[in-house]
Structure 1
């Protein structure tokens, strides 16, 4: 069986790439239908890429007091993102030459990181925002290990850069003004999605972490 035939049977490994594109579309639609209001200006019209958070799109009411028509798109986007991330971890667990125990840890931590997400727009927001990334980080550390052992240095370094972005988000949230946090949050989203897509394509072309 040649490489083309092998890849044709492994099309499912590209599911995180397709999921990322669907998430971006739904995120854009949710932002387009968001009535207005942000932390900087409660009376602003529409969604501000500079001042609005992802959580604002999940609220039933916008910060300007109007019904948030973008909420259904945002919740659908969250479900798609959760499935996409779980799919990515599955592809990575199967794509790299991990032991059976390592695969179980990756998938279990990935699932645990996603279970709290439905409570993101609730009174448990802070607890979810702290617990979910912890389990996600454990799963991602295995992915980083797979990248490093495979010699995929550029993707490994890109992954470390994303961890820096996550740390920056947490620093802004806990220790400084929140003015820049919404923008940094979006940059982090975009960077992680790009990284996931690049790793996915690389694993599709080189299963088992082959060079």
Structure 2
């Protein structure tokens, strides 16, 4: 039972720890360095990882946030490994398994001082894994997941565009939308697809 639901349990624990982190965040955001508490509209998730909050206070959210990232990365790594077993093409299966799951190590490193470079590395590896998954989903009869994959990738790309272009006003909101759509897609693919859905694809 634990193995069967390890992805869901890991994500639930991750979200709980991250929510606890937001409750413990001292304050400060991109629009007001002196604000109190976590502002969902103007604070980034990465604000929870720093040794100090934006307002300069010791960041009591850090411990909880790093714990959340450990469970988040581990859950997604398990997903990529398990989903790769559903793909009949060996080369593609290996890309999903090793690039997708391997990228989760770098996703965790986003919570460290290597944050900026790790966003690039982790996002690239995640998108490669998801691109391969999307190709096979598009070739299948999983019509709902075809739309979900496309929407998820578009949201992810747009969020990266905002980050790369320095358009920061709506980036914290898009970051959370991206977080939510990605989790929804991963859970959907993990629980509502099976090996047989992809067996006729080559």
In 2, distance between residues paired with 1:55 and 1:210? Answer: 37
Q: Cα offset for 1:118?
A: 4.6
1:198 counterpart = 2:188: yes
SS of equivalent residue, structure 2 residue 67: helix
In 1, distance between residues paired with 2:108 and 2:128? Answer: 21
In structure 2, the partner of 1:3 is none
TM-score, reference length from structure 1: 0.86
CA contact (8 A) 1:14 1:200 kept: no
CA deviation digits over 1:53-90, x for unaligned, max 9? 11100011111111111111100111111111111111
Q: Which moved more, 1:164-173 or 1:43-52?
A: 164-173
The higher-RCO structure (CA 8 Å, 6+ apart) is 1
CA contact (8 A) 2:87 2:93 kept: no
5+ unaligned residues in a row in structure 1: which ranges?
Answer: 1-7
After TM superposition, list the pairs within 5 Å mapping 1:71-110 onto structure 2: 71-94=62-85, 96-110=86-100
In structure 1, the partner of 2:156 is 166
CA contact (8 A) 1:37 1:63 kept: yes
Q: Which moved more, 1:161-170 or 1:100-109?
A: 100-109
In 2, distance between residues paired with 1:194 and 1:115? Answer: 21
1:39 to 27, 30, 34: 30
CA contact (8 A) 1:20 1:197 kept: no
1:209 counterpart = 2:200: no
- Cα 1:145–1:12 shift into 2, 3 Å: farther
5+ unaligned residues in a row in structure 2: which ranges?
Answer: none
- Cα 1:208–1:76 shift into 2, 3 Å: farther
Cα RMSD of the aligned pairs, angstroms, is 2.0
In structure 2, the partner of 1:22 is 13
TM-score, reference length from structure 2: 0.89
